[in-house]
Amino acid sequence: MSNLAVLPIIIPMLAGIIVAFTNKNVKITRFLSKLFSIISLLVAAYVTYEVFSNGSIILETGDWAAPYGIILVADQLSILLILTTNIIAATAAFYAPHSLNIKQETHYYYTFFFLLITGVSGAFLTGDLFNLFVFFEVLLMASYALIVLGGDKIQLRESVKYVLINLFSSMLFVTAVALLYGVVGTVNMAHIAERVAEVEQKGILTTIGVLLFFVFGTKAALFPLYYWLPRPYIVPNPVVSALFGALLTKVGIYSILRVFSLIFVYRMEITHEAFIWIAGLSMIFGVIGALSTNNIKLIIAYNIIPAIGFIIMGIGIFNQDALSGSIYYLIHDMIIKSALFLLVGVIAYVAGTSDLRRMKGLIHHYPVLGWLLFISAFVLAGIPPFSGFIGKLLLLRGALSADEIAITIIALLSSLLILYSVMKIFIRGFWGEKEENKTYTKKVSAGLIIPIVCLLTISVFLGIGAQFVYPAIDGIAEYLLDPQIYIDSVLKE
């Protein structure tokens, strides 16, 4: 049964290879990519069901016993994130044919898309720190190809910066893993956690932890390290932006959550205390960025940063409520960010520009788009009863019970400003008089709208149906608070 854990990695990889052979025939490629993304989603759902009913699935690859070989750990946290990833991948597979042009599709878009999903799933599943680096590279390689697909002047320019910053942080990752190996003599995460616990994180271990935090913080776009993020995320096609915004930064934040709830948990006054400050600053600076621009794509891209701030805030506070809030918010944000990127892509397409100053009165022509944006803004900002509200409520409850008043105030204020920054698109772009001399000829096909509606429906369900989802998330938070459960399940002692 333990082989189930490898399926979320294998299926997208095989799909990526198969669609590479059919790239000349777009119709078959489209059909295959939709088919494989649905199969992958169903398998992910089944594995999730198995994990939640029978406990973590641990796969020792090649039958090498735990600390020696590479292991894949499908615990409740990682499998839930994989399920979310597959939901987003399926909607992206249905959105892509309507959004990309033929040239991009025949130039292996679908192959790289599936390889990206492979890398993301692998990063969520692996129980080995060096293997995490390898899966980071798998997903980054695919993202390098996706970001430059089309080969515009701007795309090329921004992708060079994107590759450089990621290459730099990857090399720091290797160095950090090397130093950690030099101290504890293993790269298996459970084994590292056990050995770090034995010496109570003395000496250089905290420094290595902070170095790892810098690496993951760069990938997750946290406060001092986010400067690279907004521009490369808006230059590719909306569907690629949606995948990037929903998945890539979240892999970074997942790694922080994993490493700083399992391994480096004995010097909280240094590490986790700093996280709270970084969270506050990420929220403030991200929101300022979102308010400062009139480019609708850039507004959404900047909104990634405060969202990451909210998640790291829960990791910093590190109690039951705050952690479950973080996980809730992580899943909520993956779904709503991809929905918003897709939606803004459609708006920019019909308006012929992404500059807010050149849009007006769109609601007369595209009422559906307007109301979808309205709902998404509410979901994003956490207006009850939508999903953002549940996550934020848990986070704030955790913050208040830990007496972190300052961060609570910052979080509440930045939520308001997030709402304003997205509402600005609605107010400036959709309200206003009908422009008589301007004609909108572009039709919005149902294929562009249905994926967005699906994502929003899931998002609304996460809010209204919180009583079904919350117990599972609460269980994960409890599981994360006790690293011994993970260590025992992997090393089987």
Partner 1 sequence: MEYIILLLAGVLFATAIYNLLQKQLLRIIIGTVLLSHGAHLVLLTMGKLKRGQPPILDENVTSYTDPLPQALILTSIVISFGITSLLLVLSYRTAKENNTDNMEEMRGESNE
Q: 25 in helix, strand or coil? A: coil
**What is the widest separation between alpha-carbon atoms in the chain?**
75
Minimum CB distance to partner 1, residue 295 (Å): 6
With CA atoms as reference, report the closest residue to 107 among 50, 70, 35, 155: 155
Q: Which is nearer to partner 1, 172 or 419 (CB)?
A: 172
Minimum CB distance to partner 1, residue 181 (Å): 5
CA-based torsion, 308, 313, 319, 322: positive or negative = negative
CA-based torsion, 201, 269, 304, 486: positive or negative = positive
Q: Name the residue type at position 446.
A: A
With CA atoms as reference, report the closest residue to 369 among 456, 437, 272: 456
Minimum CB distance to partner 1, residue 294 (Å): 6
Minimum CB distance to partner 1, residue 432 (Å): 20
Distance CA 102, CA 363 (A): 30
Give the pair of three-digit tokens for residue 296: 């609708």
Q: Which is nearer to partner 1, 289 or 309 (CB)?
A: 289
In degrees and rounded to multiples of 5, residue 80 shows phi and psi of: -65, -40
Q: Which is nearer to partner 1, 298 or 407 (CB)?
A: 298
Distance CA 111, CA 99 (A): 17
Q: Which is nearer to partner 1, 285 or 329 (CB)?
A: 285
Give the pair of three-digit tokens for residue 371: 């109301």
Minimum CB distance to partner 1, residue 192 (Å): 13
Q: Name the residue type at position 467.
A: Q
Q: Which is nearer to partner 1, 293 or 319 (CB)?
A: 293
Q: How far is CA 95 from CA 64, 88, 323, 451, in A?
A: 41, 10, 33, 6
Q: 22 in helix, strand or coil? A: coil
Q: Which is nearer to partner 1, 294 or 320 (CB)?
A: 294
CA 379 remoteness from chain centre: 16
Q: What angle do CA 214, 216, 222 make, to 5 degrees?
A: 75
Helices (H), 352-404: 367-381, 387-401
Give the pair of three-digit tokens for residue 445: 């096909």
Q: How far is CA 430 from CA 179, 292, 339, 392, 481, in A?
A: 54, 19, 18, 28, 46
Minimum CB distance to partner 1, residue 419 (Å): 23
Interface residues with partner 1 (CB under 8 A)?
130, 133-134, 137, 141, 144, 148, 151, 153-154, 156-161, 163-164, 167-168, 170-172, 174-175, 177-179, 181-182, 187, 231, 293-295, 355
Bond into 385 cis (ω within 30): yes
Minimum CB distance to partner 1, residue 34 (Å): 29
The residue to which tokens 């796969």 are assigned: 59
Q: Which is nearer to partner 1, 292 or 457 (CB)?
A: 292
Q: Which is nearer to partner 1, 160 or 406 (CB)?
A: 160
Contact call for residues 222 and 213 (beta carbons, < 8 A): no
Minimum CB distance to partner 1, residue 64 (Å): 12
Q: Which is nearer to partner 1, 22 or 170 (CB)?
A: 170
Minimum CB distance to partner 1, residue 109 (Å): 17
Minimum CB distance to partner 1, residue 298 (Å): 8
Q: Which is nearer to partner 1, 185 or 447 (CB)?
A: 185
Q: What angle do CA 357, 361, 366 make, to 5 degrees?
A: 115
Minimum CB distance to partner 1, residue 152 (Å): 8
With CA atoms as reference, report the closest residue to 302 among 317, 316, 315, 291: 291
Q: Which is nearer to partner 1, 141 or 444 (CB)?
A: 141
